Amino acid sequence: MTGNDRGADRADGAAAPDTAQPGGAALDGAEQGGTEQGGAAPLLRLIGAGKDFGNIRALSGVDLEVHAGRVGCVLGDNGAGKSTLIKILAGLHRPTSGTYLVDGEPVEFSSPREALDRGIATVYQDLALVPLMPVWRNFFLGSEPRAGFWPLTRLRVAEMRATADAELKKMGIDLPDIDAPVADLSGGQKQVVAIARAVYFGARVLILDEPTAALGVKQSGVVLRYVRAARDAGLAVVFITHNPHHAHMVGDHFTVLRLGEVELDAPRSELALDDLVHHMAGGAELDALEHELGR
Amino acid sequence: MGPAPALPAPGASEKELRAGRVPPLRRLAARPELGSLLGAVVLFAVFFAAAEPFRQAGSLATVLYAASTIGIMAVGVALLMIGGEFDLSAGVAVVTASLATGMTAYQFNLNVWAAAGISLALALLIGFLNGLILVRTGLPSFLVTLSVFLMLQGLNIAVTKLVTGSVSSRSIADMDGFDSVRAVFASSVPVLGTEVRITVLWWLLFTALATWVLLRTRAGNWIYAVGGSADGARAVGVPVAKVKIGLFMTVGFFAWFSGMHLIAASGGVQQSGEGVGNELLYIMAAVVGGCLLTGGYGTVVGAAIGAFIYGMTKQGIVYAGWDNNWVMFFVGAMLLLAVVVNSWFRSRAGGRR
């Protein structure tokens, strides 16, 4: 595990006020020793959650805890139920069985907006950014600060530009031109803009849907560093991926899904990268295949 | 730890994240209006050299007037195109508004302003229906507004014939309110010693207003967003359907305004078969000015320059003493040139736009 030497400036990076999480320091120790899930109550919790679409069981009996200041990784192959799980957490689907608790209370979200109001922000793969629009306009899209009385209500343009610039700088993105269209940013930078936006608008839980899927090694590194920065700022991060290497670099807890069920659920201390890779690669099935092909 | 990719050291990646500074010239080249501005300058120079009458101040006023008749509608059409849609019914909707004003005033013996109010409601309704059908059916705006265009074209002639028994509305020139309507929509005002048609001033005012809305209000932000990525906009809470319907109604407003100018300028009589083909001129002005057909990109200032190019071509050919039939050829050539130049500049400017 290299690259653990994150700059001190990054720790006070993201905007959340409750930065005083011991997470940062403790989790450095976690690289060797590992942390346990105990302690504070989980922000989000799924108990025996399942989701059926007609006759098709997309998800069944999933237990999941999401803690502040931790990165929980959800791994799984295509069709393992990752996206169904995200959609339940994000408020897009209601589980057909089991319970979804936020701050210990059972919830039934009827729209993503309600989840967002509880501080649960989801950054989807397609990011919900408008490519042709400048970065600062994208940053505030849908929640624009305004001044003046109708019909002269106008955008606080100077404030928007300064805030977007400052927030992105905190995340380590220094754009020479905040007016540049989002299309001019790299894939990693786009992810970070979307994450910074979610954090700025009060996210406590950040659900990242395959944020490194379409990125090269360098750009993935950029994103992973900000996953860590968000965690150190006290946010709970749910990191969905099919890449065990990426997961193992930032994760504190790992949940591997297979055919809609939890195949593996382990804290970092109990799981080496090789185990994770093995599980993701198909585990016993792969062993059998290797034997069969006999090379 | 085998194949795990190493995270870059913070120092290195900060440098990577800092995109290269954009030189001012390249930034200028990335402006959507640049192609049209260059075209306008060249065209102006050509006519200035070739046509002696073109050099007089009065000629410029005439050019501006021709530009304004297209330009006022182009404001609404450009906003709509930035919002990702276009409106083929805009040309005949102008005539519908004009006919509605003329016929309601004459048939119900109304003050022309009251008739104008009814006509405005009708024009906004047409826009509303365009937008509503679009967002409800999810059909492309080309098909929706083509249908509405054909229906309005038929209605304009059929209803006029039904009501007046002829192909035009009856004159309302001697009715109450017509003089003040003409003063607002079709008078001339002296500017720097030259008589300038009032539509020129309205055109500049509307262009400025729409530019302010686009760049400085939340509505403007939303217009760019729904045109650039409707799904992305929806995901962050932008009411995409409302924005689109609002844009079609804005086109409706400008159609009403242009219709009011038509009937006021023509002495209170409106021919029912007019307006066909103008919708493409509005779109031409917006596209020459840098609006993308796919939406999310462009400016209203660009559309104004596009309309100015149209005005110069139309009047310049007359002043140069050439055959008037060449006008459309040159307008088409300018359109092709502007589109090619615009897309060339966009790709040169390095944006993946």
Instruction: Delimit the domains of chain B by residue range.
Output: 33-341
- Inter-chain touch A132–B353, beta carbons under 8 Å: yes
CATH number, residue A51: 3.40.50.300
Model confidence at B27, in pLDDT bands (50, 70, 90)? low
Q: Calculate how close chain B gets to A243, using CA atoms only, in Å.
A: 10
A142 contacts on B by Cβ (under 8 Å): 233, 236-238
Q: Calculate how close chain B gets to A216, using CA atoms only, in Å.
A: 10
* Any A CB within 8 A of B10 CB: yes
CA distance B42 to A132: 29
B222 contacts on A by Cβ (under 8 Å): 141
Is A123 among the domain residues? Answer: yes
Sign of CA dihedral B66, B72, B73, B76: positive
Q: Calculate how close chain B gets to A189, using CA atoms only, in Å.
A: 7
Model confidence at B325, in pLDDT bands (50, 70, 90)? confident
CA distance B285 to B274: 19
Do A163 and A182 form a contact (C-beta atoms < 8 A)? Answer: no
> A209: which strand partners?
A240
Is A139 among the domain residues? Answer: no
Model confidence at B141, in pLDDT bands (50, 70, 90)? very high
Instruction: Calculate what percentage of chain A has a pLDDT beyond 70.
Output: 84
Q: Calculate how close chain B gets to A35, using CA atoms only, in Å.
A: 20
The model's pTM is 0.80
Q: How many other C-beta atoms can be found within 10 angstroms of the C-beta atom of residue B34?
A: 19
Q: Calculate how close chain B gets to A163, using CA atoms only, in Å.
A: 16
pLDDT of residue B324: 85
- Inter-chain touch A140–B296, beta carbons under 8 Å: no
CA distance B43 to B312: 8
CA distance B113 to A126: 51
Q: Calculate how close chain A gets to B320, using CA atoms only, in Å.
A: 42
CA distance B299 to B289: 7
Write out the two tokens for B262: 């038509």
Is pLDDT of B4 > 50?
A: no
With CA atoms as reference, the chain B residue closest to A274 would be: B1
- Inter-chain touch A132–B296, beta carbons under 8 Å: yes
B26-48 average pLDDT score = 82
Model confidence at A13, in pLDDT bands (50, 70, 90)? very low
With CA atoms as reference, the chain B residue closest to A123 would be: B235
Is pLDDT of A166 > 50?
A: yes
A126 contacts on B by Cβ (under 8 Å): 231-232
Q: Which residue of B1, B7, B27 is the best one to mutate when testing the A interface, meaning the one whose CB has the most A CBs within 10 A?
A: B7
B351 contacts on A by Cβ (under 8 Å): 181, 183-184
Q: Calculate how close chain B gets to A210, using CA atoms only, in Å.
A: 17
**pLDDT tens across B63-119, in order?**
999 999 999 999 999 999 999 998 999 999 999 999 999 999 999 999 999 999 999
Is pLDDT of B158 > 90?
A: yes
Q: How many domains does chain A have?
A: 1
* Any A CB within 8 A of B13 CB: yes
Q: How many other C-beta atoms can be found within 10 angstroms of the C-beta atom of residue B6?
A: 12
Q: Which residue of A132, A195, A243 is the best one to mutate when testing the B interface, meaning the one whose CB has the most B CBs within 10 A?
A: A132
Of B9, B17, B236, the CB nearest to A141: B236
Write out the two tokens for A54: 């007609």
B209 contacts on A by Cβ (under 8 Å): none
Whole domain around residue A19: which residue ranges? 8-133+187-193+202-293
Is pLDDT of B309 > 60?
A: yes
Q: Which residue of A9, A31, A141 is the best one to mutate when testing the B interface, meaning the one whose CB has the most B CBs within 10 A?
A: A141
With CA atoms as reference, the chain B residue closest to A176 would be: B21
With CA atoms as reference, the chain A residue closest to B233 would be: A128
- Inter-chain touch B19–A124, beta carbons under 8 Å: no
With CA atoms as reference, the chain A residue closest to B229 would be: A130
Burial class (CB in 10 A: 0-12, 13-18, 19+), A198: buried
Is A106 among the domain residues? Answer: yes
- Inter-chain touch A172–B238, beta carbons under 8 Å: no
Of A126, A132, A153, the CB nearest to B228: A132
With CA atoms as reference, the chain B residue closest to A5 would be: B9
- Inter-chain touch A273–B231, beta carbons under 8 Å: no
A176-204 average pLDDT score = 84
Within 214-253 of B, beta carbons closer than 8 Å to A belong to 216-218, 220-222, 224-225, 228-229, 231-233, 235-238
Q: Which residue has the higher pLDDT, A4 or B199?
A: B199
DSSP code per residue over B130-194: HHHHHHHH---HHHHHHHHHHHHHHHHHHHHHHHHSSSBPPP-TTSTTHHHHHHHHS-EEEETTE
* Any A CB within 8 A of B21 CB: yes
B229 contacts on A by Cβ (under 8 Å): 128-131
B8 contacts on A by Cβ (under 8 Å): 3, 218, 221-222
The one-letter code for the residue type at A57 is R
CA distance B123 to B242: 17
Is pLDDT of A114 > 50?
A: yes
Is A171 among the domain residues? Answer: no
Is A129 among the domain residues? Answer: yes
- Inter-chain touch B4–A273, beta carbons under 8 Å: yes
CATH class, range B33-341? mainly alpha
Those residues with Cβ within 8 angstroms of residue A53's Cβ, 6 or more apart along the chain or in another chain: none
Which of A2-6, B192-196, B349-353 has the largest mean confidence?
B192-196
- For chains A and B, what is the number of CB pairs under 8 angstroms? 138
- Inter-chain touch A157–B216, beta carbons under 8 Å: yes
Q: Which residue has the higher pLDDT, A271 or B188?
A: B188
pLDDT of residue A220: 86
Model confidence at A33, in pLDDT bands (50, 70, 90)? very low
Q: Which residue has the higher pLDDT, A6 or B215?
A: B215
